Amino acid sequence: MALSTLMACLHLDRSNAGLLAVVGDVAERFKCSVIGVAAKQATAHADILAAGPHAPHEHNLKRFAEHASAAETEFRAALSKVDNLDWRATMTCGPAYHQVADEARAADLVIASVDRHDRSLLPSGEADVGDLLMRVGRPLLAAPADAAGFRFGQALVCFKDTREARRAVADAVPILQAMDRVDVVELVHAQALDEARRRLGDVGDWLARHGIHATCSAILANGVEAAQLAGLARDLQADLIVAGGFGHSRLREWAFGGVTRDLLLRGERCVLASH
């Protein structure tokens, strides 16, 4: 499937320069329209509970409108070369990621930013990238908050023979077709090497039929999977990681950590994930 419409998820309380640099590069390469989305969940106050649960306070609405206006100005200025821009900002009574995911019905690819320096555990009211991935129903490209743009150089596809990984590779095809080099790797134990090589042969043949020449390798697992994949990405100087999202239950992934979660939240390079 070709990319025709991108959706950019903007923050309201910080610069979106890195996110918009990535969005601009992808939009330029594929001649895409771009929808800018900003959403925030209203906070509940004791003095307004009579108006309904989580009803937005007038002061909060005014502040939201000011921040949304500033984000829209940043969005339109950064993407001035894009022919078709649309802007949507909403203060919502429910979780912000629900609103953002619903807006994704109009997009082929959702792009959100991850700040590896942000260690705050306090809820911001904005959409969390992990929650968004689980609900959005579209491929999600997580971009470092400090990205200088998107380079169509090296891609690392982290493969497993799971529904999520197969979905991610299929969703990534348009971008993989534009990359200079694609490496597909699967981390396996020694007894599974032969079977993994057979699987990767199928993946390589399938990608080739889509015009993508990929180097496919089964690699012995050594230690923590996410750390090993991140190390491979650094060695390859990958511009993009492609991975399936959340192979186990959502609760288990967040409680004990998961490969996709760790890769997403590292914020070191762009990660395209699907669930």
Mean pLDDT lowest for which of 136-145, 149-158, 226-235, 256-265? 256-265
**Which residue(s) pair with 158 in the sheet?**
185, 243
| Least confident among 10-14, 45-49, 189-193, 194-198 | 45-49
Does residue 253 surpass a pLDDT of 50? no
pLDDT digits (tens, 9 = 90+) for 90-135: 988 888 888 988 999 999 999 999 887 664 444 566 777 878 888 8
Place of tokens 């320069």: 17
- Quick check: 256 pLDDT over 50? no
Instruction: Say if CB 16 and CB 113 are below 8 A apart.
Output: yes
* DSSP state letter for 128: P
Q: Which two tokens stand for residue 106?
A: 């109009």
22-43 pLDDT, tens digit each: 999 999 999 999 999 999 888 7
List pLDDT tens digits, range 200-223.
999 999 999 999 999 999 999 997
pLDDT band at residue 258, thresholds of 50, 70 and 90?
low
Lowest mean per-residue pLDDT among 152-156, 231-235, 262-266: 262-266
Cα(137)–Cα(175) distance, rounded to whole angstroms? 18
Please count the other Cβ atoms lying within 10 Å of the Cβ belonging to residue 181.
Answer: 15
* Average pLDDT over the chain, rounded to an integer: 86
Position 118 scores a pLDDT of 64
Cα separation, 192 vs 260, in Å, equals 22
Residue 190: Cβ-neighbour burial (10 angstroms; 0-12, 13-18, 19+): exposed
Instruction: Note the pTM of the prediction, 2 decimals.
Output: 0.87
Q: Fill in the amino acid letter for 141.
A: L
36: closest CA among 138, 140, 107? 107
Report residue 40 as tokens.
């925030």
- Does residue 252 surpass a pLDDT of 60? no
CB 56 within 8 A of CB 93: yes
The strand pairing partners of 240, in sequence order, are 155, 270
For the stretch 155-164, pLDDT in tens is: 999 999 988 8
Which residue, 87, 100, 105, is CA-closest to 126?
100
Distances (CA, A) of 232 to 88, 116, 155, 263: 38, 19, 11, 12
Cβ–Cβ under 8 Å, residues 260 and 162: no
- Ordered by where they begin, the domains of the chain are 5-144 (3.40.50.620), 154-263 (3.40.50.620)
- Percentage of the chain modeled with pLDDT above 70: 83
